[in-house]
Chains A and B, each alone.
Chain A
């Protein structure tokens, strides 16, 4: 009982931290860093609290299923959003040290690259395999 309450409280604190990070962080990537990890961890802790609070097996199984679903889908969604945000030209923080995708793509805002380079070295359809 008391353990479940404490775990649910900790999960709520982690969710609050995720929201604070999404407001305070300087750019999209650092915001996603805070929201995906702390947010998923907070939601997972609250669902573990649910399994401790209820004694019926079907409810526990349901809560664990939601937890597994969150743990599976959060990284996928974060990957997709990060890719889309980078390609649509979200500004990076000036303290960013490493930008490996920039070296691969050629230039940061892809629209600039297309405008400057009349004959792109690669057909646009093969650029982004996720955009099929």
Chain B
């Protein structure tokens, strides 16, 4: 029973991982790729939770916690970088117009 449930959950999560990897590859803009990365991070959290339950390894939850933290920080960092790039481009365009 346990093995069947674990296999089904891992199968569903693996399918989700493949779909979001597809979005990571084809995503037209950088923001789409960040969204895909965030989904991948939360899917990995789910996989670690499943592993912790069905293989009786509660230490995997610590890894899930760190993964949640790094996923959040990566999303914030990349979005700040994108906004900064737009602001800088605007400033340069305005400078060019002045000259």
Contacts and interface: CB of A to CB of B under 8 A. Distances in A.
B53 A28 contact: no
B79 A19 contact: no
Interface in A43-60: 43, 46-47, 49-50, 53-54, 56, 59
B38 A50 contact: no
Contacts of A90: 28-29, 31-32
Given A81-B75, A115-B93, A22 B20 contact: yes
A91 B75 CA distance: 20
- Chain A interface size, under 10 / 10 to 19 / 20 to 34 / 35 or more: 35 or more
A32 B49 contact: no
A101 interface: no
B45 A19 contact: no
A87 to B, nearest CB: 5
A63 B78 CA distance: 27
B58 A59 contact: yes
Contact of A59 (B29, B61, B76, B89): B61
A114 B96 CA distance: 10
Contacts of B94: 114, 118-120, 124
A69 B73 CA distance: 12
A50 B49 contact: yes
A43 B42 contact: yes
Interface in A90-115: 90-91, 110-111, 113-115
B39 A131 contact: no
Interface of B: 2, 5, 8-9, 12-13, 15-17, 19-20, 22-23, 28-32, 34-36, 38-39, 42-43, 45-46, 49-50, 52-53, 58, 61-62, 64-65, 68-69, 71-72, 75-76, 78-80, 82-87, 89-91, 93-94, 97-98
